[in-house]
Structure 1
C-alpha cells in the first residue's frame, strides 16, 4: 500500500495495509483527505459513472437495434461497450457512496465484489481488443483458412473466449491466489499490490504478463502486420479496393481504442509495479492514478462517434425516433427497412416509408362518405 505522511493527517504505517478481516465499515477509521477532497472525488466518480452508463447503454442499443451494425467487427465493439456499461452500473455506486462517506462503507464482501467487478471488466476490455485485432489480422491475411471467423457466430465465440479468459484470471484472487483489499485512501477496493506473501508475489507477475503485456503484444503485432499487408495491397491496385478501405478503418479504430485504454491505465499499472516491487507511493498519487483509470469507461463511445459515421448516423436515428435532422450522409445505409426493433423502442406506431405511399389526386377518386354516416 501507499506510504503515509506521519503528521497527524494520515494514519500510521501499521494501519496502511489492513488484513481482509479488518475491512469493515468502522466509522473510526481515519480519513486520508479532507471532506472537500472526498466530495471532489465523489463528483468525478459520479460524472464518470453516469456518463459512462448512459453512453454505453446507447452504444449497446445502437448495435442491438440496427441490423446493418450486426457485423462481426461491431459485435466486438458491442462486447467492449457492454463491459463498460456493467462496470459503470455495478461499480460506480459503491465508489461514489464511499467517497462521500470518506471511507469504505460496505464491508468485506462488498469490497471483494467491487474489486472483482472492476478488475474483471477492465481485463475484458483489453482482451477483447486483442482478440478483435487478431481476428481482423487473420481474416485479412489468411481469409481462406478462417471462413467461420468472419461471421456473427465466430465473433460470438471469440467474445465468449475473451470473457472466460478474463474471468479465469480474475477469480484467482477470490480463490486465494493473492487477494482484494482496500486501496486509494481506503475508499475503494482493488488487488492488493502490497501483499508480500509467496502466493501474491507469484500472482502479480503472472497477472501483468497475461492480462496486460500479452494482450498489448497481440494488438501491436496484429495491427502492424495488418497495416503492412493493406499497404502492399493498395500499392498493386490502381484504385484502393473497398476491402482495403474497410480494413484500414477497423485497424485505425482498434489502434485508437487500445491507445486510449493504455493511456488511461498506464499510470495505475506503473503505480502497481512500484508498490509490488516494494516501493512507496503517496496516497495522492495512488488516488489520482486510480480515478484517472476510470476514464477508460467513457472514451470508447466517443471514439465510435468520431471515427464511425455509420454508428453516428444510427445513433442520431435512435435518438430522434427514426429522423436525421443533421442529414448525415454515408456510403451505405445505416439502417435497413426491417429494423422493427427501433420502431418498438422509439415510437408506438410503425414508421411509414415515404416511397411506399401512393398518393392519388383528389379529382381522380372523389372522397366517399364513411360507412354508417346518415344521408
Structure 2
C-alpha cells in the first residue's frame, strides 16, 4: 500500500512538472547537464555565502570601517550579494539536482523578484562606487559632501531604484517566469508582446547600459588622473619631501590601490553580465534558442556574487587577516599595523621613502 501511495505521489509530481513544461515552454537539460550546473552552483554558492558573510562580520566587528562613506557602499554590496546567496543559490541548486523546479509557480515568482531586486541593487552599487572613485580622485574638493548621511541617502535611493524596476512585473508589466532550462526564475525575456518588449528594452537601457557607460567613463578618468599624479610625484623612486608631501604621496598610493581594486570588480561585472544581457535581447526576437545558449550566460551571471569577496581576499591584507581569524575562531577585533613606508632623515628632518617598506596601507577602503 505504501508503495502504491508513493508511486501515486511520484506520478502526480511528474505530471505537475510536465504541465509546467508545456505551459512555459521549458526546454529541459539532460541529466548530466542538470547535475553539472547543480555542482557548479553548489560550489559558487558556498564560496559566495562564506565570502560575503566574512565581509559582513568584518564590518560588524570594526566600527572604523563603518565610519567611511565609501565602505558603506561596500557593505551594501556585500548585503545584496549575501541576499542572493540565501534566496537564489539554494533553490536553484536543489532544483538542478532534482532536475525540476521544486517550489512551484508561486515560489518561482518570489525567487525571481527577490534575486532580481538584489542583483539590480548590486549593479546600482557598483555604478555608484565608480562615481565615488571619480569624485575622490578627480574632484577631491567635493569629497566632504560625500559624508555618511549623504551615503546613507544614496543607498536608500539605490534600493528604491531597484524596486522601481522589479515591482512592475508583479503588477502586470511583464512577469516573473521560469528560465528556459526550468530550474531558475527571472523576467520573461521571451515575451513578444510590445508592452513586455518595452519593459525589456527599458531594463537594458536604464539598468545595464547606463550603469556600464557610467563605470567606463568614471574609471577612464580615474585611471588617467592617477597616471598623471604618479608621473608628477614620481612614486616609483626614492624621494625626499616635507611631511605634507609624504602624506600626499601616501594617500595617492592608497587611492591607486583602491582604484585598481574597483576596476577589477567593474571588469568582472562587464564580463559576467554582458553575455546575459545579450542573450536576453536575442530572446526577444528569437524564442527558439537552444537551451545551452540560455543556460551558460545565466550561470555566468550567477557567479557575480562570488567574485567580489574573492577580489577582496586577493587584494586586501586586512580582509585576509580577518578571514584567517574567523576561520580559526579567534575573538577580538582585527587590527594590522601598517609597516612604515617612510623613514626620517635625522640630518634635515625630512621624510625619505624606503623601498623595502613601500607597501600599501592596510585599510579596507
- For the criterion TM > 0.5, the same-fold answer is yes
Q: Deviations over 1:171-206 (max 9, x none)?
A: 121222211111132221111111011211111111
Give the aligned partner of residue 355 of structure 1. none
SS in structure 1 opposite 2:185?
strand
Q: Mean alpha-carbon deviation: is it higher for 239-248 or for 164-173?
A: 239-248
Q: How does 1:242-321 map to 2 (within 5 A)?
A: 242-278=250-286, 280-320=288-328, 321=330
CA contact (8 A) 2:168 2:174 kept: yes
User: What TM-score does the superposition give when structure 1 sets the normalisation length?
Assistant: 0.75
Contact 1:33/1:185, CA 8 A, preserved across alignment = yes
Aligned counterpart for 2:80 among listed residues 67, 79, 83: 83
Q: Is there any run of 5+ residues in structure 2 with no aligned partner, and where?
A: 1-13, 22-26, 236-247, 340-360
Q: How many residues align?
A: 309
Q: Residue 186 of structure 2: SS of its match in structure 1?
A: strand
| Partner of residue 18, structure 1 | none
Alpha-carbon distance, 1:249 to partner: 1.8
Change in 2 beyond 3 A, CA 1:333/1:286: closer
Give the 3 Å change call, closer, same or farther, for CA 305–280 of structure 1 in structure 2.
same
Alpha-carbon contact 1:305-1:311 (below 8 Å) kept: yes
Distance 1:34 1:227 in 2: 46
- How far apart in 2 are the matches of 1:251 and 1:334? 13
Match for residue 227 of structure 1? 223
In 2: Cα distance, 1:166 partner to 1:295 partner: 20
The question of 1:217 aligning with 2:213 is answered yes
**Long gaps (5+) in structure 1:** 1-23, 336-375
Shift of 1:26: 1.0
User: Do the aligned residues in 1 keep the contact of 2:113 with 2:166 (CA within 8 Å)?
Assistant: yes
1:126-151: CA deviations, max 9, x gaps?
210111110221233333335130x3
The superposition leaves residues 244-295 of structure 1 with CA deviations (integer Å, 9 ceiling, x where unpaired) of 2222122111111011122122222221111113364201221222122211
Which aligned pairs between 1:45-194 and structure 2 lie closer than 5 A? Answer: 45-70=41-66, 71-149=68-146, 151-194=147-190
Q: Is the 8 A contact 1:111 1:182 kept in 2?
A: yes
CA contact (8 A) 1:177 1:200 kept: yes
Greater per-residue helix proportion = 2
Say whether the 8 Å CA contact 2:28–2:291 is kept in structure 1: yes
Q: What's the offset of the Cα at 1:323?
A: 8.6
Runs of 4+ aligned structure 1 residues displaced above 6 Å come to none
**Separation (CA, whole Å) in 1 of partners of 2:332 and 2:142:** 42
Q: Which protein has the larger Cα radius of gyration, Structure 1 or Structure 2?
A: 1
Q: CA RMSD in A?
A: 2.6
